[in-house]
Amino acid sequence: MTAEGTSTDVLVIGAGQAGLSSAYHLSRSPLRHLVLDAEPAPGGAWQHRWPSLVMGTVNGIRELPGTTPPHADPAEQARIAVPRWFADYERQFDLRVERPVRVLRVEHDGDGLAATTDGGTVRARALINATGTWTRPYVPFVPGAAEFAGRQLHTHDYRGPGEFVGKRVVVIGGGISAVQLLLEIAPVAAAHTWVTRRPPEWREGPFDEAAGRAAVAMVEERVRLGLPPRSVVSVTGLPVTDITRAGIDAGILVARPMFTRIVPDGVMLPDGSFVAADILLWCTGFRPALDHLAPLRLRGPGGGIVMDGTAVAADPRIHLVGYGPSASTIGANRAGRAAVRDLTRWLAHPEDRAA
C-alpha cells in the first residue's frame, strides 16, 4: 500500500511487460520512481490468459531488458510460464512493485500530477502509463444483442472448449484469437460459424523484421495523427501455418460476413440468411485501459491521443507505453527504454518545458 502523500519523480502505472521495462530503466537512472500495479501477483495480463494458450501457441514472447525470454516447455500454459518469468525478473533486478494498488484517477496538481489510488495519493513530476488493454474488452454494438437468449462471452472470459460441447457457436472477429479459439471449439461444438467484418487476410511465409517494422509504422502513423490505435497484431495479418491450413481445408476457418442483427436464437447475415446459435463468442479485441487518465483530457477530436513517440504530444510529462505501436511484447520492451530516456532528459532540463 502506498503511504498517503507519497511523492516521486516518475510514477509508473502497471507492471506488465511495458511497466517492467520502464522500471528496469528507471532503476538505472537518477530518477526517483514508484511502480504500482493493480494485480496481487506479478505477470500483468498474462496471468489471466485462457488455460489452453500454451507457450507453443503464443505469437512469441520477446525479451525484457537485461534478460531473454524463458525457455519454457511448449506445452506449458502461458498464464503460468510468463508470470513466473516476470516474478523472477522483478527479484533478479530488485524492481519494487507495489501491489495490489489500483490507480483510480490522475489529475493535474500544480506543476506535477496527482494519482488517487485505492491506497492513498501519489504525487509525481511525470507519469509512465503501462496499463495495457486486458481490462477493456471490446464488443461492437449490433442491433438485437440485448434480446439474445443464449450466452455471449468475450475472449477475455474464455476458459477452454469444455463449455462449448454440443453447442451451436458463432465466433466473431478476424484476429488470431478468433482463429485459435475456433480451432479449439470446432471439434466439440454441434455447429460452428466464423464471421468477420472484412475477409480474413492470410499471410503466407515468415513474418520478418521488415514486415514487423511496416506494421509498427502503420500504427505509429495513426497515433501520431491522434486516431485510435489499431493493435499491431491486427495489421500483421493471420499467419498460414500447418494448423491453420488444415483448418481452412477442413472448412473450419472459412469466414462469412459479419451479421447485421442478433435475434433471440441466432444471428442474421447480410444476405438475409439465419444462423442458429446458443453461444456468441466475441473475439473482437480490447481497447487501451486509460479511464483513470480521463481527468487529464488527453483525447483529441480524432478519438485517440496525439502521440510523439511514447510521449503525449500535448504533455511530454506523460508517456504511454504498451500503447498503439508498442502494444506487443517487443514494442513494450522498447517503449519502456524510450520513455525513461526522454523523461530523464526532460526532467533534468526544466527550461525545455517552454519549448
**Residue 38 interacts with ligand FAD (CB under 6 A): yes or no:** yes
| Contact set for ligand FAD, span 47-106 (CB under 6 A) | 49, 58-62, 102-103
DSSP assignment of 280-330 equals EEE---B----GGGGGG----TTSS--EETTEETTEEEEEESSSGGG-SHH
CB of 260 to ligand FAD, least distance (A): 27
Which of residues 196 and 231 has its CB atom nearest to ligand FAD in the complex?
Answer: 231
Q: Cell numbers at residue 186, please?
A: 470446432
Whole-angstrom distance, CA of residue 310 vs CA of residue 327? 11
Which of residues 235 and 268 has its CB atom nearest to ligand FAD in the complex?
Answer: 235
Which of residues 19 and 174 has its CB atom nearest to ligand FAD in the complex?
Answer: 19
For residue 324, the number of C-alpha atoms closer than 13 Å in the C-beta half-sphere is 26
For residue 88, the number of C-alpha atoms closer than 13 Å in the C-beta half-sphere is 12
Q: Name the one range near ligand FAD by CB under 6 A: 41-49, 205-213, 254-262, 344-352.
A: 41-49
Which of residues 161 and 322 has its CB atom nearest to ligand FAD in the complex?
Answer: 322
| Contact set for ligand FAD, span 281-310 (CB under 6 A) | 286, 289, 292
- Among 23, 34, 35, 36, interactor with ligand FAD by CB under 6 A: 36
What residues have CB less than 8 Å from 86, skipping those under 6 apart?
Answer: 15, 16, 17, 20, 42, 43, 44, 46, 64
CB of 39 to ligand FAD, least distance (A): 4
**Residue 116 interacts with ligand FAD (CB under 6 A): yes or no:** no
Cβ count within 10 A of residue 95: 22
Whole-angstrom distance, CA of residue 138 vs CA of residue 135? 10
| Contact set for ligand FAD, span 142-201 (CB under 6 A) | 177
Contacting residues toward ligand FAD, per CB under 6 A:
13-19, 36-39, 44-45, 49, 58-62, 102-103, 130-132, 134-135, 177, 286, 289, 292, 322, 327-330, 332
